[in-house]
């Protein structure tokens, strides 16, 4: 079993990450001298886009951290006393918002004929860098807040009680008790947001107003999707992107290892342990719910399509106008989720056999989460170059779409499942074997209850992400293989703007439902595990 | 557990191979013509839905149409086919005169043959041997006259000033990813000449957005985000057809005093596709049907462009389209176009 898991994980990583990357690099630099390669890398136009990408991603991340950090601290404290709260689920909903839907919503809001303009608020931010940053902030603040909140729930309340008894001020409690526990959650969320903003495509493309507001991803797109195929320049953009997204992760990992020596004595609390005593006042819950709803509110404007649109859409569904696209999207979401979650389960199985602090385990962890720092366009291009004999973007390939999506969403599934390798119910396993249970029975009654929640969660999270994803889809579609996000942009091209907006609203509803479901199941199982 | 993983282990890579395997087949069937085209030709209600069955009937062949993105990406596809040593298509359908110099090397020369009906094609639409035009339109500013009533011709240099109280008054398309966007850029280069960079620097505060495609630009325009958009003259005809009778169509062409660029869409045979007598005949017949009166009559309301044959009856809305004051000839040489694009990219940097 362990051998099979390790074999599958290794083969999947080599085929889905390594081979496409090598294909892109070798195709990009074939027949070029190192001097030519270096000249391309430091081309003034590309450097100016690198600079703008950095400014955009750093500004978005800074605002997200400034807003998300205090919000996360409050939410974390609330969750320690109300572990069954639905606020984190509400807070997670923006993850399921397709960037296409988000862009459409912000245009409806910020545009000259938009909702804000109708209310007399006209900042004229649409089609500027400010609009792109605003959209990034709304998508990512809840993510930072959730990450900080989960870290905050691990602060042992006994230590806080002890500090108060000893006369510690609020600042001293924060400095010596809370901060050491939440800082890694905050930093990793910040790095994640920074990476996402560096790789941002649709939001910058539509809301940024076009050149000169460009990021590496939009420049890369223009190199590979139009006229003479300029793979060399696309590869240079891809490499810069990798530098910008992976370097902060690398610094964080190294810094964390160094810092862990100083934190050996640190004690951690237990997730969602019900605690008796006086918690935050009840109005905190209302306020936090309000804030969570505030971050999903902008996207609801896509429901403002004229009434006749809904009628047309309903008729269209019966006629089969978009039923096929819906079925394809569902098939794709199922395939991507199955592939990434299955591989993540097997990766967890094989990695948990390695010693906990071993460098080899850290290396594999890093390699497995590498796709989160890769542009989906680079990966799709590499996939095509490497497997072009069998996968033809012109023919359309559901398998290729699913493979690229599964690769990109694998780190998400892996991160949800990975904590399971850290906590093992060894006593129960031992007891079960001693009592003569078969391997299947042990799995069914001891292991599966621990895995069920996170597995369902990761399936729903990947499926939600897949439904909203546009990059892999736009690379491997064909006339007979058009998923919903692509159909929305196609309808826009055919003057069917209101129907496109209606369909975007439907897509938002489905993907948010999946994310809601993922978080509910995940958190319920987490609580069951603790209460057991 | 084991059987589950075993099935997954076999089934998932298998699915991948089966899906991939389908794409490698094709072409060889003797009566099949594989063609590359752009997306909107194949959409529901698009030109392909009506034109391709007609060709199949007249030529006695089976058409397999493959689309990817827009016209410019067909060149990318041919390049990749060559690198992979895997030619697939016999026809490229929907290339334009801008892309023709770059794509010509991948296509067949007609030599002494000319398609039947070619003499009915307007002289100014004939680009060269091997490129068969099938539709065209002038490009220009479409104005929302509800926002800005003026319909009088303007100068290109007026774009560098605010328009009747509107700052950021026009929506453009990215010249690197959109054919109309490239035409606009090359038109400004042709008109402004040595002051090209200054023009774009002065123009910078006055466009609302440079959208990645014509469709996204037009979407913003329809939403009333800006009073002007860079589009096809034929957009005016589209709106006229869709405007309820008795109402005035607010979307009208505004002419440039300096003239307008022209987009001509055409079809060409891919190099090597006419290697046998039989395949040559089939491809030649295909081309002839494309410019037959029957096929050309489908163009206006299926592709929202003008047919190239002068003897095709047009809908009234197309007859009312304005004539440009002058036709602007823009650069088509790939190296020169690349140079203009680079200069443009530098000139708009902050």
Measure CB to CB from residue A492 to each of B22, B77, B219 and give the nearest one: B219
In the prediction, which pLDDT does A426 show? 65
In the prediction, which pLDDT does B346 show? 84
Q: Which pLDDT band holds residue B16 (cuts at 50, 70, 90)?
A: very low
Q: Closest residue of B to A340, CA-based?
A: B12
In the prediction, which pLDDT does A270 show? 46
Q: Closest residue of B to A496, CA-based?
A: B219
The CATH number of the domain where A79 resides is what? 1.10.3720.10
Q: What is the pLDDT of residues B230-271, one digit of tens each?
A: 999 999 999 999 888 888 999 999 999 999 999 999 999 999
Please tell me if residue A489 touches chain B, with a CB cutoff of 8 Å: yes
Q: Is the pLDDT of residue A186 over 60?
A: yes
Residue A74, min C-alpha distance to chain B (Å): 40
Domain that residue A370 falls in:
2-28+45-259+280-531
Measure CB to CB from residue B350 to each of A127, A212, A229 and give the nearest one: A212
Measure CB to CB from residue B225 to each of A4, A111, A212 and give the nearest one: A111
List of chain B residues whose C-beta atoms are within 8 Å of the C-beta of residue A448: none
Residue A474, min C-alpha distance to chain B (Å): 9
Give the tokens for residue B281.
């005949």
DSSP assignment of B62-79 = EEEEEE-SSTHHHHHHHH
Q: Is the pLDDT of residue A37 over 80?
A: no
Give the tokens for residue A36.
């030519």
Average pLDDT over residues B138-166: 89
* Poorest-pLDDT segment among A274-283, B45-54, B204-213: A274-283
List of chain B residues whose C-beta atoms are within 8 Å of the C-beta of residue A479: 39, 42-43, 65, 67
CB–CB contact B216 A227 (8 Å): no
In the prediction, which pLDDT does B216 show? 79
Structural domains in chain B, sorted by start = 28-136+263-314 (3.40.190.10), 137-262+319-347 (3.40.190.10)
Q: Is the pLDDT of residue A256 over 90?
A: no
Domain assignment of residue A36, yes or no:
no
Domain assignment of residue A275, yes or no:
no
Is residue B181 within 8 Å of B245, Cβ to Cβ?
no
CB–CB contact B44 A321 (8 Å): yes
DSSP state letter for A426: H
Q: Which pLDDT band holds residue B181 (cuts at 50, 70, 90)?
A: very high
List of chain A residues whose C-beta atoms are within 8 Å of the C-beta of residue B168: 124, 127
Mutating which of B215, B226, B230 best tests the A interface, going by the most A Cβ atoms within 10 A?
Answer: B215
Q: Which pLDDT band holds residue B191 (cuts at 50, 70, 90)?
A: very high
Question: Could you give the CA distance from residue A314 to residue A366 in angstroms, rounded to a whole number?
Answer: 47
- The number of beta carbons lying within 10 Å of the beta carbon of residue A123 is 12
Helix (H, G, I), strand (E, B) or coil at A295: helix
Q: Closest residue of A to B88, CA-based?
A: A394
Q: Is the pLDDT of residue B273 over 80?
A: yes
What sign for the dihedral angle of Cα A173, A248, A241, A470? negative
In the prediction, which pLDDT does A339 show? 95
List of chain A residues whose C-beta atoms are within 8 Å of the C-beta of residue B88: 392, 394
What sign for the dihedral angle of Cα A512, A513, A517, A523? positive
In the prediction, which pLDDT does B227 show? 94
Residue B88, min C-alpha distance to chain A (Å): 10
Question: Could you give the CA distance from residue B219 to residue B208 in angstroms, rounded to a whole number?
Answer: 13
In the prediction, which pLDDT does A31 show? 65
Give the tokens for residue A57.
């991603």
Average pLDDT over residues A451-464: 83
| Unique residue bearing structure tokens 């076999």 | B10
List of chain A residues whose C-beta atoms are within 8 Å of the C-beta of residue B350: 212
Higher pLDDT, A153 or B131: B131
pTM: 0.81
Higher pLDDT, A421 or A101: A101
Helix axes B334-347, B179-192, angle to 10 degrees: 80
Q: Which pLDDT band holds residue A251 (cuts at 50, 70, 90)?
A: confident
CB contacts under 8 A, A 108-137 vs B, are 111-113, 124, 126-127
Q: Is the pLDDT of residue A81 over 80?
A: yes
Please tell me if residue A261 touches chain B, with a CB cutoff of 8 Å: no
Measure CB to CB from residue B209 to each of A127, A339, A390 and give the nearest one: A127
Q: Is the pLDDT of residue A396 over 60?
A: yes
Please tell me if residue A448 touches chain B, with a CB cutoff of 8 Å: no
Please tell me if residue A212 touches chain B, with a CB cutoff of 8 Å: yes
> Percentage of residues in chain A with pLDDT exceeding 70?
88
* Poorest-pLDDT segment among A15-29, A325-339, B111-125, B238-252: A15-29
Residue B119, min C-alpha distance to chain A (Å): 31
List of chain A residues whose C-beta atoms are within 8 Å of the C-beta of residue B75: 227-229
ipTM exceeding 0.85, yes/no? no
Residue B218, min C-alpha distance to chain A (Å): 8
CB–CB contact A211 B345 (8 Å): yes
Dihedral angle over CA of B58, B63, B66, B70, nearest 10 = 0
In the prediction, which pLDDT does B3 show? 36
In the prediction, which pLDDT does A278 show? 65
Q: Is the pLDDT of residue A493 over 70?
A: no
Helix (H, G, I), strand (E, B) or coil at B266: strand
In the prediction, which pLDDT does B22 show? 33
Please choose, from the candidates A342, A521, A209, the residue with its C-alpha nearest in 3D space to the C-alpha of residue B216.
A209
Q: Is the pLDDT of residue A455 over 70?
A: yes
Q: Mark B289-322 as b/e (b = at least 16 C-beta within 10 Å).
A: bbbbeebbbbbbbbbbbbbbbeebebeebbeebb
Question: Could you give the CA distance from residue A341 to residue A346 in angstroms, rounded to a whole number?
Answer: 9
Higher pLDDT, B263 or A224: B263
- The number of beta carbons lying within 10 Å of the beta carbon of residue B276 is 10
Measure CB to CB from residue B73 to each of A226, A392, A495 and give the nearest one: A226
Q: Is the pLDDT of residue A271 over 50?
A: no
Domain assignment of residue A265, yes or no:
no
Measure CB to CB from residue B20 to each of A210, A221, A387 and give the nearest one: A387
* Poorest-pLDDT segment among A38-42, A214-218, A410-414: A38-42
Mutating which of A479, A487, A489 best tests the B interface, going by the most B Cβ atoms within 10 A?
Answer: A479
In the prediction, which pLDDT does A529 show? 42
Q: Which pLDDT band holds residue A531 (cuts at 50, 70, 90)?
A: very low
Helix (H, G, I), strand (E, B) or coil at A5: helix
In the prediction, which pLDDT does B60 show? 93
Q: Is the pLDDT of residue A68 over 90?
A: yes
Q: Closest residue of A to B174, CA-based?
A: A210
Supply the Cα-derived Rg of chain A in whole angstroms: 24
In the prediction, which pLDDT does B189 show? 96
CB–CB contact A440 B1 (8 Å): yes
Q: Which pLDDT band holds residue A525 (cuts at 50, 70, 90)?
A: low
> Percentage of residues in chain B with pLDDT exceeding 90?
57
Q: What is the pLDDT of residues A408-423, one digit of tens each?
A: 999 888 888 887 776 6
Question: Could you give the CA distance from residue A504 to residue A431 in angstroms, rounded to a whole number?
Answer: 52
Cβ neighbourhood burial of A41 (10 Å; 0-12, 13-18, 19+)? middle
Q: Mark A184-217 as b/e (b = at least 16 C-beta within 10 Å).
A: bbbbbbbbbbbbbbbbbbbbbbbbbbbbbbbbbb
Q: What is the pLDDT of residues B40-89, one digit of tens each?
A: 787 777 899 999 999 999 999 999 888 766 666 677 778 777 776 777 89
Q: What is the pLDDT of residues A422-453, one digit of tens each?
A: 665 667 777 877 888 887 888 788 778 878 87
Question: Could you give the CA distance from residue B95 to residue A484 in angstroms, rounded to a whole number?
Answer: 27
Tell me what the pLDDT averaged over chain B comes to. Answer: 85
Overall number of domains in chain A: 1
Mutating which of B4, B16, B341 best tests the A interface, going by the most A Cβ atoms within 10 A?
Answer: B16
Question: Could you give the CA distance from residue A408 to residue A469 in angstroms, rounded to a whole number?
Answer: 10
> Percentage of residues in chain A with pLDDT exceeding 90?
24
In the prediction, which pLDDT does A530 show? 38
Measure CB to CB from residue A225 to each of B19, B42, B73 and give the nearest one: B73
Q: Is the pLDDT of residue B220 over 90?
A: no
Please tell me if residue A493 touches chain B, with a CB cutoff of 8 Å: yes
Residue A313, min C-alpha distance to chain B (Å): 15
In the prediction, which pLDDT does A264 show? 57
List of chain B residues whose C-beta atoms are within 8 Å of the C-beta of residue A227: 72-73, 75-76, 99, 102, 176
Domain assignment of residue A271, yes or no:
no
Measure CB to CB from residue A399 to each of B20, B65, B84 and give the nearest one: B20
Q: Is the pLDDT of residue B228 over 70?
A: yes
Q: Closest residue of B to A111, CA-based?
A: B225
Please tell me if residue A227 touches chain B, with a CB cutoff of 8 Å: yes
Residue B297, min C-alpha distance to chain A (Å): 20
What sign for the dihedral angle of Cα A341, A345, A350, A353? positive
CB–CB contact A205 B214 (8 Å): no
- The helix/strand count (H/E) of chain B reads as 13, 10
CB–CB contact A226 B177 (8 Å): yes
């Amino acid at each position: 079993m362990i051998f099979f898991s390790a074999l599958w994980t290794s083969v999947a990583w080599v085929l889905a990450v390594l081979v496409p990357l090598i294909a892109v690099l070798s195709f990009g630099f074939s027949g070029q001298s190192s001097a030519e390669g270096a000249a391309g890398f430091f081309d003034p136009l590309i450097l100016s886009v690198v600079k703008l990408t950095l400014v955009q991603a750093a500004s978005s991340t800074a605002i997200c951290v400034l807003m998300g950090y205090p919000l996360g601290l409050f939410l974390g404290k609330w969750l320690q006393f109300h572990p069954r709260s639905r606020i984190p689920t509400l807070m997670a909903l923006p993850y399921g918002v397709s960037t296409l839907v988000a862009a459409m919503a912000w245009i409806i809001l910020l545009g000259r004929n938009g909702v804000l303009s109708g209310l007399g608020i006209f900042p004229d931010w649409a089609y500027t860098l400010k609009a792109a940053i605003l959209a990034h902030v709304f998508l990512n603040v809840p993510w930072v807040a959730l990450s900080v909140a989960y870290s905050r729930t691990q602060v042992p309340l006994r230590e806080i009680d002890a500090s108060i008894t000893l006369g510690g001020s609020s600042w001293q409690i924060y400095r010596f008790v809370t901060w050491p526990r939440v800082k890694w959650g905050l930093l990793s969320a910040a790095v994640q947001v920074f990476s996402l903003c560096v790789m941002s495509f649709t939001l910058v493309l539509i809301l940024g107003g076009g050149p000169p507001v460009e990021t590496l991803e939009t420049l890369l797109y223009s190199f590979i999707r139009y006229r003479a195929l300029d793979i060399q320049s696309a590869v240079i953009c891809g490499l810069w992107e990798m530098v910008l997204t992976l370097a902060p992760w690398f610094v964080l990992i190294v810094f964390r290892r160094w810092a862990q020596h100083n934190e050996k004595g640190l004690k951690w609390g237990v997730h969602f342990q019900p605690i008796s005593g006086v918690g935050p006042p009840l109005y905190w819950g209302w306020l936090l719910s309000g804030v969570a709803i505030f971050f999903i509110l902008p996207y609801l404007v896509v429901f403002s399509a004229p009434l006749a649109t809904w009628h047309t859409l309903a008729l269209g569904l019966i006629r089969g106008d978009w039923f096929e696209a819906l079925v394809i999207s569902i098939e794709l979401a199922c395939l991507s989720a199955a592939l990434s979650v299955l591989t993540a389960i097997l990766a967890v199985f094989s990695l948990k056999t390695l010693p906990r602090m071993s460098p080899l385990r850290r290396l594999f962890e890093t390699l497995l989460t590498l796709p989160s720092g890769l542009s989906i366009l680079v990966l799709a291009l590499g996939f095509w170059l490497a497997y072009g004999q069998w996968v033809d973007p012109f023919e359309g390939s559901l398998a290729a779409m699913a493979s690229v999506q599964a690769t990109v969403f694998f780190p998400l599934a892996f991160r949800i499942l990975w904590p399971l390798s850290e906590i093992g119910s060894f006593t129960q396993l031992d007891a079960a074997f001693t009592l003569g249970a078969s391997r299947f029975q042990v799995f069914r009654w001891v292991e599966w209850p621990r895995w069920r929640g996170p597995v369902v969660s990761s399936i729903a999270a990947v499926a939600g992400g897949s439904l909203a994803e546009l990059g892999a889809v736009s690379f491997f579609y064909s006339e007979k293989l058009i998923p919903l996000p692509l159909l929305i942009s196609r309808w826009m091209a055919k003057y069917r703007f209101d129907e496109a907006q209606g369909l975007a609203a439907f897509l938002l509803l489905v993907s948010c439902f999946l994310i809601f479901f993922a978080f509910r199941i995940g958190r319920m199982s987490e609580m069951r595990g603790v209460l057991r | 557990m084991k059987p589950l993983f075993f099935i997954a282990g076999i089934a998932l890579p298998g699915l991948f191979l089966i899906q991939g395997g389908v794409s490698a087949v094709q072409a060889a069937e003797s009566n099949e013509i594989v063609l590359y085209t752009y997306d909107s030709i194949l959409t529901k209600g698009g030109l392909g839905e009506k034109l391709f069955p007609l060709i199949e009937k007249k030529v006695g062949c089976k058409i397999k149409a493959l689309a990817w993105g827009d016209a410019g990406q067909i060149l990318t596809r041919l390049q990749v086919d060559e690198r992979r040593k895997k030619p697939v298509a016999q026809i490229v359908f929907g290339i334009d005169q801008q892309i023709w110099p770059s794509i010509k090397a991948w296509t067949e020369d007609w030599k002494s043959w000319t398609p039947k009906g070619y003499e009915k094609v307007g002289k100014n639409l004939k680009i060269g041997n091997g490129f068969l035009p099938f539709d065209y339109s002038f490009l220009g500013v479409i104005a929302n006259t509800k926002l800005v009533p003026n319909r009088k011709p303007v100068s290109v240099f007026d774009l560098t000033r605010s328009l009747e109280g509107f700052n950021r008054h026009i929506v453009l398309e990215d010249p690197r990813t959109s054919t109309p966007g490239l035409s606009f850029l090359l038109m400004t280069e042709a008109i402004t000449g040595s002051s090209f960079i200054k023009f774009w620097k002065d123009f910078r505060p006055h466009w609302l957005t440079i959208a990645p495609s014509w469709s996204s630009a037009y979407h913003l325009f329809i939403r009333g985000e800006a009073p002007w958009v860079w589009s096809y003259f034929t957009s005016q005809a589209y709106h006229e057809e869709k405007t309820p009778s008795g109402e005035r169509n607010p979307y009208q062409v505004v002419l440039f005093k300096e003239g307008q660029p022209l987009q001509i869409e055409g079809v060409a045979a891919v190099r090597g596709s006419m290697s046998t007598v039989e395949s040559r005949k089939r491809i030649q017949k295909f081309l002839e049907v494309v410019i037959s009166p029957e096929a050309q009559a489908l163009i206006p309301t299926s592709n929202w462009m003008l047919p190239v044959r002068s003897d095709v009856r047009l809908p009234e809305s197309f007859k009312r389209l304005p004539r440009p004051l002058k036709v602007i000839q823009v650069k088509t040489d790939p190296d020169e176009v690349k140079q203009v694009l680079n200069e443009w990219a530098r000139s708009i940097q902050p």
